[in-house]
Chains A and B, each alone.
Chain A
Amino acid sequence: GESVGLHLPTLSVQEGDNSIINCAYSNSASDYFIWYKQESGKGPQFIIDIRSNMDKRQGQRVTVLLNKTVKHLSLQIAATQPGDSAVYFCARGLETSGSRLTFGEGTQLTVNP
């Protein structure tokens, strides 16, 4: 069956450092992946997405890397700020499933001043 999971439940970094949040998936039949950020008491917020035919995509201060060989996805956050403290979820989607997303378990990122 399909599943998406994260390597670590928590990650603590110092302000200004780079953060790397990892995600592993088991089903290679994925069309795209999305990273979401969820702050306490709020709904998930879109960060960045990547289609399965890509290896890398960059946004503002964020980079997503996709390694299909080992079925691994990572989110890199440059110069992490206190406002980046949140739970981060990866999710995978299949176009044949319409718009359904399967979420992995979250990683709690804590940024220490």
Chain B
Amino acid sequence: DAMVIQNPRYQVTQFGKPVTLSCSQTLNHNVMYWYQQKSSQAPKLLFHYYDKDFNNEADTPDNFQSRRPNTSFCFLDIRSPGLGDAAMYLCATSRDRRGGTYEQYFGPGTRLTVT
């Protein structure tokens, strides 16, 4: 059973045309993350939601926004995609467990192409 679902799996957008990627989870985890991963590189955290609290990484461009309307869904909005934004976008979730580790469960990713 899919636990972290990302739609679409492949997205093609035009330079400068806003695009939204979606993520949903059936785990009822309170933390959701968005990562950007370029070819052969490590995933780079863009931001995460701790419940409804939004936590932006210092070096995430303003071009990237996120929304979390409820526990299950989280969206990544790219307001004006540039060629450099072509990448795999990974959504992940975790359950906050003090004293434990914070295993993150990843979705399959959305591969974004910018033309």
Binding site for B on A (CB under 8 A): 32, 34, 36, 41-46, 49, 51, 87, 89, 93, 95, 98-106
Given A32-B101, A42-B108, A44-B106: A106 touches B48 (CB 8 Å cut-off): no
23 contacts between A and B (CB under 8 A): A32-B102, A34-B101, A41-B108, A42-B108, A42-B109, A43-B4, A43-B106, A43-B108, A44-B43, A45-B106, A46-B103, A49-B101, A49-B103, A51-B101, A87-B40, A89-B43, A95-B98, A98-B31, A99-B50, A101-B45, A102-B45, A104-B42, A105-B42
Which residue in A46, A93, A98 is a CB contact (below 8 Å) of B55? A98
Partner of A100, one of B48, B106, B109: B48
Cα–Cα distance between A46 and B104 once the two chains are bound (Å)? 7
Instruction: Give the docked Cα–Cα distance between A43 and B110 (Å).
Output: 10
**CB contact under 8 A between A93 and B43, given known A42-B108, A43-B107, A98-B96:** no
Quick check: A99 and B43 within 8 Å, CB to CB?
no
Residues of B within 8 A of A105 (CB): 41-42
Is B90 in the interface zone, CB < 8 Å from A?
A: yes
Chain A binding surface SS class? strand
Beta-carbon nearest neighbor of A93 in chain B: B102
Distance, CA A46 to CA B103, complexed state (A): 7
Task: Give the shortest distance, in Å, between B90 (CB) and chain A (any CB).
Answer: 5
